[in-house]
Amino acid sequence: MTKTSNVQELQAIAKKTRREIIEMITAAKSGHPGGSLSAVEILVTLFFDAMRHDPANPKWPDRDRFLLSKGHAAPVLYSVMAQCGYTPEDQLKDLRKLGSIYQGHPDVRFIPALEGSTGSLGQGLSLGIGMGLSARLDGRPYKTYVVLGDGEIQEGQIWEATMFASYHKVDNVCAIVDYNRIQLDGFVKDILDLEPLRDKWLSFGWNVIEVDGHNIGALQKAYADFGTTRSKPTVILAHTIKGKGVSFMENNPKFHGMAPTDDEAKKALQELA
């Protein structure tokens, strides 16, 4: 794979990723477009720029670890991993089919390069903090990145993990909250509001960075800030738009877990041309 820090090149990869998300969910006739589209820049900037990893050597002991705790957004991860060269890009269209490596949620039994099977919400941060502790015990330099949904962090296990990580100074873990303000069937604020979210993470002892989660330059800076922060874990509150890039999906809870029709997909791909 070719890595780059060039924002325009990363934007081009992001656009291609959005197209692949639409194409694979349309082919599957099911899946989660909204939360896949909102996390595109977060993942593209990690995999193509910030993270130290090597698709030719997926078990390199010093590789940075990545967990998509909000595993229902698997299409964004599959597209990015395929573009990196971990998995075949031409099989993305087999998303959710029986026997496909691209199951509805990331599953290490099908894709050994994954760091864990995810999608049962609330668990990924604990897994990532375990990896961070392991790195420290083994004296290894790798970092662990965990992408969380905003609805997901209503889960109690997240806050146990949050408390544990700061107490044990697990500073090699970076959580990223995809703060798109929508969960499964409505707006987070109408179901169980998270605010004041920044204050909550601060009071749990974390280094808190807030960014526009579609601004690649801002994400690069946030990942760099994490890299130099010692003795505290870092959380990036990434403000995003659910369904970003497709007009009729943006901010629309309906497209949390529904595939576009063929006509809608055509329109979406025109907008992403």
| Segment 1 to 30, residues that bind ligand TPP, using CB under 6 A | none
For residue 218, count other CB atoms closer than 10 A to its CB: 19
Q: Does residue number 33 form part of the binding site for ligand TPP (CB under 6 A)? A: no
Residue 36 CB, shortest distance to ligand TPP, in Å, is: 8
| 45 binding ligand TPP? (CB under 6 A) | no
Q: Which amino acid is at 198?
A: R
Q: How far is the CB of 149 from ligand TPP (least distance, A)?
A: 2
Choice between 99 and 156, CB closer to ligand TPP = 156
Among 118, 183, 220, 234, binds ligand TPP (CB under 6 A): 183
Instruction: Return the bridge partners of 228, or none.
Output: none
Among 116, 124, 132, 151, binds ligand TPP (CB under 6 A): 151
Residues 6+ apart with CB under 8 A from 219: 41, 42, 45, 50, 211, 213, 236, 238
Q: Which of 184, 191, 208, 269 binds ligand TPP (CB under 6 A)?
A: 184
Cis peptide before 112 (omega within 30 of 0): no
Q: Would you say 135 or 259 has its CB closer to ligand TPP?
A: 259
CB neighbours (10 Å) of residue 227?
12
Q: CA 179 to CA 34: how far, in whole Å?
A: 12
Q: The tokens of 135 are what? A: 């790195």
Q: Are 81 and 111 in contact (CB under 8 A)?
A: yes
Min dist CB 138 to ligand TPP, Å, is 30
Shortest Å, Cβ 184 to Mg ion: 9
Least distance to ligand TPP, CB of residue 93, Å: 22
Rule CB under 5 A: which residues touch Mg ion? 149-151, 180, 182
> Of 149, 213, 233, 243, which one interacts with ligand TPP (CB under 6 A)?
149
Can you spell out the DSSP letters for 196-224?
SHHHHHHHTT-EEEEEETT-HHHHHHHHH
Q: Is 237 in the site for ligand TPP (CB under 6 A)?
A: no
Between 143 and 256, name the residue whose CB sits nearer to Mg ion.
256
Sheet holding 234-239, edge to edge: 65-68, 144-149, 173-179, 234-239, 207-212
Binds ligand TPP by CB under 6 A, chosen from 20, 41, 49, 152: 152
Q: In the complex, what is the shortest distance from the CB of residue 75 to ligand TPP, in angstroms, rounded to a whole number?
A: 11
